[in-house]
Amino acid sequence: MAVRVFLVAENFSRHFRAGLWVVGLVLAGAEAQVLPVVTIPSSAREEIAALRIEIARHDALYHRQAAPEISDGDYDGLKRKLREWEQTYPEIAREVPAVAEVGDDRSGLFQTYRHRERMMSLEKAYTEAELRAFAARMAKATGRREVAFVVEPKFDGLAVSVTFEQGRLVRAVTRGNGVEGDDVTGHVLAITGLPRTLRVPEPVAGADVMPRVIEVRGEVYVPFAEFQRVNAEREAAGEARFANPRNLAAGTLRQLDASEVTRRGLAVVFYGIGACEPLTAYPNNQYGLHARIRAWGLPGVEEVWRAMGTDALWGAVQTLETARASFAFPTDGAVVKLDEMAWQREVGVGESAPRWAVAYKFASERAETRLRGITIQVGRTGVLTPVAELEPVVLAGSKVARATLHNRDEIARRDLRVGDFVYVEKAGEIIPALVGVNRARRPAEAVPFVFPTVCPACQTPVVQRAGEVAVRCPGSACPAQLRRRIEHFASKAGVDIEGLGPVTIEGLVGRGVVKELADLYRLRREDVAVLGKNVSKSAERLLGAIEASKRVELARVIYGLGIPQIGAVAAKELARECGSLEAVAALGNAAAPAGASAAVRAAAAYFAEPKNRTVARELIAVGVRPTGVAAGAGGRALLGKIFVLTGTLPTLSRAQATEKIEAAGGKVSGSVSARTDYVVAGTEPGVKREQARTLKVPVIDEAELLRMIAGK
């Protein structure tokens, strides 16, 4: 019998003994064939290691800091590139330290808790072909020609698991690393519209409708209306806007002050189940699960699509993509799942994701334009924020001329140069974001941007604190910081000085008339008249508004001071605990006592700095005497009632209506649920009014709201 020997040239040359043995076989009559050398490029190890390090960095930015620097598509592209290298060179991949497949969102700020059942991520699909390939795999795995799917909107928020025992909410945990996550129970309990106990649904034949223990999986998110409201408040206060709703939701859950959850209008939606005891309480299909979640009284997905077969599946995904323009919540894709739970169990799960589900990501609209320049904005805390000045381009129906660049490191990482052609997307379909550079079109005259080493407003050398990416101006007399501090102090959420806008503030600071907050209360008629104000009208009104602001509620003054981690809700808490501006400032005289609230701890740390105590003392010296917490015209007429605002009200802004409701004891939520007591609708109310009608929640107008507050 003829013997054929295959030789790999590289191995044959290395192993001399084996070579002699093979030569012997050949001399004995065996047929030998030398195969070409398979070489591993020297760059493989470096490429795999570099990709894993880069992915780990973006994981930390996205999951732990809620500050991603690249789009989801670019991130998934890095993961795909790494997977290709690993599959091509598995022996090298085994030598390089691995990167976890599920991003870890544990922040280190909270206690952690272990999930009863592992919380997984989802595989991604970006094209019709990839989605059809998934459907084909499911048909093959189940042995069926056509498979039933459920299509759900993919909420863009922070994944959470909420555990109910004997129908009572006992714990809320972030996904973390999939095995354990941050215990954020207190924060999730602050979400308006989330019940503390499960409602007993109607009996279902052959099933236990009330589980003893159940992990309900979902997403904490920020509705568009709340996102826009919070960003408007921050812009008016001279603070950086959140890039997208997900960053706002994730950042808020990491705030030590749980009251920020309510103030920023966070919401939650549930769409899955982890551990469940007994298993008979688990519905038979995914479509039924959504109905069961709503039957328990939990916020669920309002609309899902059932599809039988691949063509119907693709049609349902396209229908969802068209419909999302009317959604009140952020969504960046469609989640496709096998409908039957038995099929889900049969197909099983992989190392990091279930095999029976996939997330189809909608493509973000992208435009290419030219980077005209980079300007630097100085915030009220001294942070220097670079902003891209673009040739105007239409994106998602609106003209875009500016985009944030976040920080100095991002400019260097992207190698951005003035004159470059750049790619711009709308992050979360709202905020323009620069996502890439077309280096193939880089003009010869494009020059690297040199980040300033001194503050552009006051020429003070900038600093970078250890562990921060932000570059700051430490100048205590920086006019840019002072302008932003005054804007924040005088904003509607602050002491509400009507007529003190950016142009007037610019003039007062530029002329040196106002050098600190207390100088506002030292202004004379001639100081304002020089700015072009008519002494008999506008100037008098401005001076009158400044004088009236001496007697606003204490919480407004506290908020206006811009204490880190003290938002409008925490300011009210601090006002109740301290009772006077003097007492608030005195918190800095000693360390906060054990068991003190987060607001007290934050204020104590802030006023421990002498310059901050001086600001408060100067305000007191010029006659600022804030009043106590406002009781509202109707006392506590709305105590315990939950309101949702929608549309434009005739006379009240969203902030003013919220303030009046809260002052009368009510709460304002960003989304309609079964627990909502009233929806207050103005003009162009949107989907919330329809949701209210579906849930049989009373819809009232502004006039009725004011009558309720007045106790009529």
Q: Report the share of the chain in percent with pLDDT over 90.
A: 42
DSSP 131-197: HHHHHHHHHHHHT-SS-EEEEEEEE-SEEEEEEEETTEEEEEEE-TTSSEEEB-HHHHHTSTT--SB
Mean pLDDT throughout 516-527?
A: 92
Query: Which residues are paired to 172 by β-bridges?
Result: 162
**231 within 8 A of 242, measured Cβ to Cβ:** yes
pLDDT at 365 (0 to 100): 76
Whole-number Cα distances in Å, 379 to 41, 45, 478, 600: 49, 43, 10, 25
Mean pLDDT throughout 655-671?
A: 79
pLDDT at 612 (0 to 100): 93
- Which one of 124, 154, 361, 667 is the catalytic residue? 154
pLDDT at 599 (0 to 100): 82
DSSP 457: T
Nearest to 449 by CA among 418, 480, 425: 418
Residue after which a domain boundary falls, among 93, 120, 135? 93
Do 132 and 280 reside in the same domain of the chain? yes
Residue after which a domain boundary falls, among 361, 383, 409? 361
Distance (Å, whole) CA 626 – CA 640:
27
Q: Provide the mean pLDDT of the chain.
A: 83
Q: Are strands 158-165 and 213-221 parallel, antiparallel or unpaired?
A: antiparallel
Nearest to 406 by CA among 448, 475, 469: 469
Distance of CA 197 to the CA centre of its chain: 27
pLDDT at 70 (0 to 100): 65
Q: Please determine, for residue 531, whether its predicted confidence score (pLDDT) is greater than 70.
A: no
Examine residue 102 and state whether it is found in any structural domain, yes or no.
Answer: no
Examine residue 325 and state whether it is found in any structural domain, yes or no.
Answer: yes
Nearest to 446 by CA among 370, 522, 387: 370
Structure tokens at 255: 């705030």
Nearest to 578 by CA among 594, 559, 563, 599: 599
DSSP 286-304: HHHHHHHHHHTT--B-S--
Mean pLDDT throughout 647-659?
A: 82
Q: What is the pLDDT of residues 422-443, one digit of tens each?
A: 998 875 556 788 888 999 999 9
Q: Please state, as a whole number, how many other Cβ atoms lie within 10 Å of the Cβ of residue 589.
A: 10
Do 286 and 188 reside in the same domain of the chain? yes
Give all strands (DSSP E) within 255-330, no chain letters: 267-277, 305-308
Do 191 and 260 reside in the same domain of the chain? yes
Examine residue 660 and state whether it is found in any structural domain, yes or no.
Answer: yes
N residues, the chain: 712
pLDDT at 430 (0 to 100): 63
Q: What is the pLDDT of residues 112-128, one digit of tens each?
A: 999 999 999 899 998 99
Q: Please determine, for residue 404, whether its predicted confidence score (pLDDT) is greater than 60.
A: yes
Range of the domain at 398: 366-448
Q: What is the pLDDT of residues 157-170, one digit of tens each?
A: 999 999 999 999 99
**517 within 8 A of 485, measured Cβ to Cβ:** yes
Q: Report the share of the chain in percent with pLDDT over 70.
A: 85
The CATH number for 498's domain is: 1.10.150.20
The CATH number for 260's domain is: 3.30.470.30
Q: What is the pLDDT of residues 462-478, one digit of tens each?
A: 999 887 888 999 998 89
| One-letter amino acid of 340 | E
Q: Give residue 633's pLDDT band: very low, low, confident or very high (50, 70, 90).
A: very low
Do 244 and 345 reside in the same domain of the chain? yes
- Judge whether 641 counts as a catalytic residue: no
Structure tokens at 554: 């204490």
| One-letter amino acid of 245 | P
Residue after which a domain boundary falls, among 395, 425, 448? 448
What is the distance between the terminal CA atoms of the chain, rounded to a whole angstrom? 106
Q: How many domains does the chain have?
A: 6
Examine residue 468 and state whether it is found in any structural domain, yes or no.
Answer: no
Q: Which residue has the higher pLDDT, 43 or 277?
A: 277
Examine residue 462 and state whether it is found in any structural domain, yes or no.
Answer: no
Q: Are strands 699-700 and 678-681 parallel, antiparallel or unpaired?
A: parallel
| Burial environment of residue 41 by CB neighbours within 10 A (0 to 12, 13 to 18, 19 or more) | exposed
Examine residue 240 and state whether it is found in any structural domain, yes or no.
Answer: yes
Distance of CA 111 to the CA centre of its chain: 21
Do 417 and 318 reside in the same domain of the chain? no
Structure tokens at 501: 């806008």
Q: What are phi and psi of 392, to 5 degrees?
A: -55, 135
Examine residue 464 and state whether it is found in any structural domain, yes or no.
Answer: no
pTM: 0.59
pLDDT at 22 (0 to 100): 43
Do 558 and 444 reside in the same domain of the chain? no
The CATH number for 76's domain is: 1.10.287.610
Do 405 and 303 reside in the same domain of the chain? no
Highest mean pLDDT among 21-25, 184-188, 672-676: 184-188
Helix (H) or strand (E) segment spanning residue 112: strand 112-114
Do 501 and 543 reside in the same domain of the chain? yes
Q: Give residue 282's pLDDT band: very low, low, confident or very high (50, 70, 90).
A: confident
Q: Give residue 8's pLDDT band: very low, low, confident or very high (50, 70, 90).
A: very low
Do 244 and 343 reside in the same domain of the chain? yes
Do 150 and 279 reside in the same domain of the chain? yes
pLDDT at 53 (0 to 100): 75
Do 52 and 123 reside in the same domain of the chain? no
Nearest to 217 by CA among 177, 272, 180, 163: 272
Structure tokens at 175: 């996904």
**400 within 8 A of 422, measured Cβ to Cβ:** no
Q: Please determine, for residue 81, whether its predicted confidence score (pLDDT) is greater than 90.
A: no
pLDDT at 69 (0 to 100): 63
402: which residues sit within 8 A by CB, 6+ positions away? 387, 388, 389, 390, 432
pLDDT at 32 (0 to 100): 47
Helix (H) or strand (E) segment spanning residue 386: strand 384-395
Do 79 and 124 reside in the same domain of the chain? no
Mean pLDDT throughout 324-328?
A: 83
The CATH number for 427's domain is: 2.40.50.140
Examine residue 206 and state whether it is found in any structural domain, yes or no.
Answer: yes
